[in-house]
Amino acid sequence: MTVIPGGLRTLAIERAADGFVRLVFQVPDHRHNVLSREALEDLAAALDLLDGAPPTGVVIVSARPGSFFAGADLQRLAALRDAGQPALVDACDRGRRLFDRLSTSAYATVAVIDGVCLGGGLELALACDLRVATDEPHTALGCPEVKLGLLPGWGGTVRLPRLIGPGPAVEMTASGETCDGSAAERMGLVDACVPAGVAVESAIRLLAIRRRDGSIERRRSRMAEAVTLDPVEREFLESTAAAAILGRTGGHYPAPPAILQTILAGSAVDARAAARIESAAFARLAATPVAGNLLRVFAIGDRNRRDPGVADPLVAAAAPVIANPAVVGAGIMGSGIATRHLRSGFPLVLVDIDEQALTAAVPCILDEAAWDRRSGSADPTAALGHATRLRSAATLASCAGVDLVIESVTERPDVKQQVLADIERVVGPDTVIATNTSTNPIGRLAAGLEAPARFCGMHFFNPVRWMMLVEVVRGPATSDRTVAAVVAHAKRLGKVPVVVSDSPGFLVNRILMPYLHEAGELLREGVPAERIDRAARAFGMPLGPIELYDMVGLDTAFYAGLVLSAAFGDRIEASPVIPALVKAGRLGRKTGAGFYRYAGTGPHARPAGFDDRAGEVIARYAHPPRDTSDRVLVDRLFLPMLLEALRVIDEGLVRDVGDVDLAVIHALGFPAFRGGLLAWGDSLGAAEVVRRLEPLVDLGLRMQPTPRLLDHASSGRPFTP
């Protein structure tokens, strides 16, 4: 193998004796390969060199394990977005012209895909004549641009429908979902799926075969032409896909319908004309507020992925790496936390003094840990593998050798304090101890510990399987070492950790409670529950607040409300409606009756309408009715959340204001297309927020502008940096 010198920083050019050339990418300063400006310039320079001495064939491969290409450099995209639509169109055209060189060259090309191959990375692979994927679990191909409010802009909407058909192309790009190597082979996205150890050799052999039989030239010709689509087939695809997209997005996201129309329009013309359609559509989408908000959400998420949770990088680097965790408590939350550990590959000790509860929990944990989304059932082989790593016990002595214990027993502070003290007595001096609590102050729980520096909150959200956020709560005595270790561990579980200071309700419940409280006040004013929930869903929330009350459980909401009312009763008074419903045994879905009545009980019970008996309870605490326009409903529900978020920032509960938006998106389902709570406030403008609060200030302190809000209104500064 001869390395061709070229002074390139992101790739190496290797020429083999058989005349094949490998372009081996490894983009520095990134966790994954990304198509940065430098990587694109190096690819262009490499192709210039090869054009001077054409090889037998070119193999594009990554030297970075688990990463072919993760996509384009989004920081560059944000800068182009500010430059305007002509700059965006030009960037699309230049990138696509570069990739076109791979499919119009004098030599044939093949991409070897091992690891993530997303966005622009997939478009690079699509521009090659052939694609060979590995059968490794980490191999994933997809077009996630839609999740940023965009569509593929370097030929994805042009090449995909010509390769796999317009219908599958719409589904792949409009959903943003990924597929593994074998699924990609079945749909025709790749030409072969092979073990990683033979991928390059297989790619070269396949390229040689396809060059000899003329299939590469035939494919190049077909990829340049329009797609033959029967008018009836087109009409059916357009109507069904449009309906599915509307149902999936609620009409809030412009990218999916734009993807559908771009693919249909581009399929009807040749590839050159389709490229122009794609560039124009990309530029239009990139200029929308939704794309701006989603790009910002991605940016704050990327900052979170790189943030160790503490200011000192040396402390973060020296923090212990958790390898042998334990969970104490096999209830709903403890079982969910245990499942997440098993799915992430950890050995785990699960402890519960109730042997009957422990025995019942273990099979459910193993089934959920082994759940296969593609088959819709638990994989028995995977369940067996998880079982070998799960050790259950009814005594805390089993925690003696672990390096992290997550306590997840009942929310009663006296019980938690006793369990935590017992844990401390049996574990080693370096073991990190965490509590999964949504309401109990960490300082209070740490009062009985001899070494509170190694103790913090690790608040998971229910259901653990789906909820991404973990609040890492720093108590008064918690050390940086402890915080850094727990943040890193949460990331290895695939979660999004946000470090918050100890405060009643921490961050998420503190911001959520004004929303729920205001919904209760609206009910007392006679606004129908269905209308309140409908207004919240129209805003973009996955559930309305009344539905959320019933899902969380009115008893849980009651106890959380007591904690927050005790701390912030001047603006979040405990509603008499909730305890009255709890006293009547109406706890929500789990009992089949709350605000709504349900067909059955449990988390999957379906609502069957508002319950008149709940209405009778609400009527006992009625308020005089007020103006209830849809706009006012939205203001009543969400402006108190914004005011509470501004108070949170003033009190220094978060390390970065972006953490507020990240938390409400991942824990509450606040609509990402609005960019988060603070970004939504910016979309109104601080002065407009003050104006909208004016007719509501008689409701009390909860609707009165804070000093920070007034300062932003007078200066014109945004809430977000």
Instruction: Give the number of other CB atoms < 10 A from CB of residue 206.
Output: 17
In contact, 364 and 372? CB cutoff 8 Å: no
Domain boundaries, position 383: 324-502
CATH number at residue 127: 3.90.226.10
Is residue 77 located within the same domain as residue 213?
yes
Task: State the Cα–Cα distance between residues 334 and 332, nearest whole angstrom.
Answer: 6
Catalytic residue among 341, 386, 459, 517: 459
Q: Where are the alpha helices (DSSP H) in 553-684?
A: 554-568, 577-583, 612-619, 630-650, 658-668, 677-684
Is residue 464 located within the same domain as residue 530?
no
Does residue 696 lie in a domain region? Answer: yes
Is residue 429 located within the same domain as residue 348?
yes
Does residue 56 lie in a domain region? Answer: yes
Task: State the Cα–Cα distance between residues 416 and 437, nearest whole angstrom.
Answer: 9
**Of 237, 260, 287, which residue sits at a domain end?**
287
Is residue 87 located within the same domain as residue 205?
yes
Is residue 487 located within the same domain as residue 530?
no
Does residue 157 lie in a domain region? Answer: yes
Residues with Cβ within 8 Å of residue 280, at least 6 apart in sequence: 89
**pLDDT for 189:** 97
Does residue 46 lie in a domain region? Answer: yes
CATH number at residue 556: 1.10.1040.50
Q: Give per-10-residue mean pLDDT for the chain (721 aa).
A: 69 89 92 92 94 93 94 79 86 95 95 96 97 96 95 96 96 94 96 96 95 94 92 86 86 94 96 97 95 94 94 94 97 95 96 94 93 82 92 95 95 93 96 94 94 98 93 97 98 97 94 95 96 96 94 88 84 88 92 90 80 94 91 97 96 96 96 97 97 95 96 96 85
**pLDDT for 3:** 59
HSE toward the beta carbon, residue 329, CA cutoff 13 A = 22
**pLDDT for 4:** 58
**pLDDT for 2:** 58
Number of structural domains (the chain) is 3
**Of 458, 485, 502, which residue sits at a domain end?**
502
If residue 519 lies in a helix (H) or strand (E), which one and from where to where?
Answer: helix 508-524
Is residue 270 located within the same domain as residue 409?
no
Whether this prediction's pTM lies above 0.75 is answered by yes
In contact, 512 and 663? CB cutoff 8 Å: no
Instruction: Classify burial at 486, counting beta carbons within 10 Å of its beta carbon; exposed 0-12, middle 13-18, buried 19 or more.
Output: buried
Task: State the Cα–Cα distance between residues 141 and 155, nearest whole angstrom.
Answer: 15
In contact, 560 and 574? CB cutoff 8 Å: no
Active site residue 459: yes
DSSP-derived secondary structure for 283-326:
HHHHTSHHHHHHHHHHHHHHHHHH--SSS-HHHHHHSPPP-SEE
Is residue 255 located within the same domain as residue 393?
no
Residues with Cβ within 8 Å of residue 464, at least 6 apart in sequence: 333, 336, 337, 339, 340
Is residue 627 located within the same domain as residue 679?
yes
Instruction: Give the number of other CB atoms < 10 A from CB of residue 594.
Output: 28
In contact, 578 and 560? CB cutoff 8 Å: no
Is residue 534 located within the same domain as residue 648?
yes
Does residue 347 lie in a domain region? Answer: yes
Task: State the Cα–Cα distance between residues 285 and 292, nearest whole angstrom.
Answer: 9
Is residue 66 located within the same domain as residue 127?
yes
In contact, 157 and 274? CB cutoff 8 Å: yes
Is residue 405 located within the same domain as residue 468?
yes
Does residue 642 lie in a domain region? Answer: yes
DSSP-derived secondary structure for 121-181:
HHHHHHHSSEEEEE--TT-EEE-GGGGGT----SSHHHHHHHHH-HHHHHHHHHH--EE-H
Does residue 292 lie in a domain region? Answer: no
Is residue 658 located within the same domain as residue 536?
yes
Does residue 720 lie in a domain region? Answer: no
**Of 502, 523, 551, which residue sits at a domain end?**
502
Name the residue among 709, 544, 543 with its Cα closest to residue 642: 709
**pLDDT for 457:** 98
The pair of three-digit structure tokens given for residue 104, joined into one six-digit string: 């119009």
